[in-house]
Amino acid sequence: MKIKDIVLKIVTPLGVVVLWEVLAIYLNNPVILPRVEAVINVLIHPFQGILGTGSLIDNTIISIKRVLSGFLLASIMAIPLGILMGYYKTINSLFDTLIELLRPIPPLAWVPLSLAWFGLGEMSMIFIIFIGAFFPILINTISGVKSVPNPLIEAALTLGAKGKDILIKVVIPASSPSILTGLRVGAGIAWMCVVAAEMLPSSNAGLGYLIMYAYSLSRMDVVIACMVVIGLIGLVLDRGLRYIEDKYFVWRKMMK
């Protein structure tokens, strides 16, 4: 049963790779579709310099650093704000309209303003990532805090808890699974945003930059290799945070 499951899970991706290789041989044009071996060749030499822009690893690390900066900044601001907005009606009313107006704006629509405010460089890219991660973290935090069951709060009150204890010992732990979900979604969006931000003209390193640069040199093998790395890192990020959710928040099923 388990082996069958594994086979079922890899048969489709494997099929795609086979189809890709057949098509690549048939087209015989690496500018449109490179051979699978060419991409693998890039991937198995991650420390080798590519097109004079540093290695695959160098560029990946630069992208990860940017994501971390923007993501941490977003978490530091969104989690406390979300807790306050979820807990205090007044604060919620103060910020709610503004947030609902800003939230639908795609992070990339902020690019011109970001470039104008922070200039060409790191800060403007981190700002785009920050915008991307901020809202999912905020929204999940607010909904987590709002959905803390009232009987839990009442039980704590009758055990002698006061306002601050309720917040620290009941509301925050009870909403932590929801906050983590927000972090997971936010991290995914941050990762997408970094690649997009690095494709901007001001960028000179990172996976997004490498994709665009390789494209300008018609090196589609490098383009696809970068895409594979982006996909893998996104997958690891998501699975890692899901693992934490499952391991530390098993009790979550009881909160329903």
Binding stretches for another protein (CB under 8 A): 151-152, 154-161, 165, 169-170, 173-174, 176, 249-255
Residue 16: how many CA atoms within 13 Å on its side-chain side?
A: 4
Q: What tokens does 149 get?
A: 């069951």
Q: What tokens does 229 get?
A: 């790395």
Q: Which is nearer to another protein, 72 or 153 (CB)?
A: 153
> How far apart are CB 146 and another protein at their closest, in Å?
17
49 forms bridges with which residues in the sheet? 55
> How far apart are CB 135 and another protein at their closest, in Å?
26
User: Which residue reads 């009442």 in tokens?
Assistant: 154
> How far apart are CB 119 and another protein at their closest, in Å?
45
Q: Which is nearer to another protein, 4 or 253 (CB)?
A: 253
> How far apart are CB 246 and another protein at their closest, in Å?
14
Q: Which is nearer to another protein, 118 or 249 (CB)?
A: 249
> How far apart are CB 16 and another protein at their closest, in Å?
41
Q: Which is nearer to another protein, 28 or 158 (CB)?
A: 158
Q: Which is nearer to another protein, 172 or 230 (CB)?
A: 172
d(CA 208, CA 232): 15
Q: Tell me if residue 108 falls in helix, strand or coil.
A: helix
> How far apart are CB 84 and another protein at their closest, in Å?
21
d(CA 117, CA 162): 44
Q: Which is nearer to another protein, 169 or 242 (CB)?
A: 169
The number of angstroms, rounded, from the C-alpha of 128 to the middle of its chain's C-alpha atoms is 12
> How far apart are CB 137 and another protein at their closest, in Å?
20
Nearest to 80 by CA among 182, 151, 153: 182
Nearest to 84 by CA among 133, 146, 130: 146
Q: Which residues lie closer than 8 Å to 222 by C-beta, 6 or more apart?
A: 42, 50, 51, 210, 211, 214
Do the Cβ atoms of 163 and 120 come closer than 8 Å? no
Q: Which is nearer to another protein, 151 or 201 (CB)?
A: 151
Q: Tell me if residue 115 falls in helix, strand or coil.
A: helix
